[in-house]
Amino acid sequence: MATVKLKFRASSLMEKEGSLYYLIIQGRSSRQIAAGYKIAHDEWDSVAGEIRLQKEDDRRRRTLAGIQKVNTRIKDSIIQPLCRCKTGNAELILNIGYTLETEVFGA
Is this prediction's pTM over 0.85?
no
pLDDT tens figures, 4-45: 788 999 998 888 999 998 888 877 778 888 888 899 888 899
User: 28 burial class (0-12, 13-18, 19+ CB within 10 angstroms)?
Assistant: exposed
pLDDT tens figures, 65-82: 888 888 777 777 766 666
Relative to beta strand 2-9, strand 18-26 is antiparallel
Q: What's the Cα-to-Cα distance from 46 to each of 10, 49, 89, 94, rounded to whole Å?
A: 11, 5, 30, 24
Q: What's the Cα-to-Cα distance from 55 to each of 7, 16, 33, 104, rounded to whole Å?
A: 20, 17, 26, 27
